[in-house]
Amino acid sequence: MKTKIYFWTILLACILFAGCSSQEKPESTGTKEQAQETTTAVNNESEKDLAESDAKLQLMENKKIGKYLTDAKGMALYFFAKDQPNTSNCSGDCLENWPAFYSEDFAVPEGFNKEDFGTITRAGTGEKQTTYKGYPLYYFVKDGASGDVKGQGVKDVWFIVNSETSFAQ
Considering the domain boundaries, does residue 28 fall inside one?
Answer: no
pLDDT at 23 over 60: no
Q: What percent of the chain has pLDDT above 70?
A: 67
Spatial distance between the Cα atoms of 149 and 77, rounded to a whole number of angstroms: 9
Residue 48 has a pLDDT of 36
What number of residues does the chain have? Answer: 169
pLDDT at 87 over 90: yes
What are the DSSP calls for the chain, one per residue? -HHHHHHHHHHHHHHHHHHHT--PPPPP---HHHHHT--EEE----HHHHHH-S-B-EEEEETTTEEEEE-TT--B-EEETT-BTTB----THHHHHSPBP--SS-B--TT--GGGEEEEE-TTT--EEEEETTEE-B--TT--STT--TTTTGGGTEEE--TT-----
- Assess contact for 131 and 90: CB atoms under 8 A: no
Mean pLDDT of the 9-29 span: 53
Q: Is 53 a member of any domain?
A: yes
Q: What pTM does this model have?
A: 0.69
**What's the mean pLDDT in 123-138?**
94
Domain limits at 93? Answer: 35-160
Asked if 58 and 71 count as a contact pair (C-beta separation under 8 A), the reply is: yes
Domain total for the chain? 1
Q: Please report whether residue 111 resides in a domain.
A: yes
Residue 30 belongs to some domain of the structure: no
**20 is a domain residue:** no
Q: How many CB atoms lie within 10 A of CB 136?
A: 27
Assigned domain for 139 exists: yes
Q: Is the predicted pLDDT of residue 42 greater than 70, yes or no?
A: no
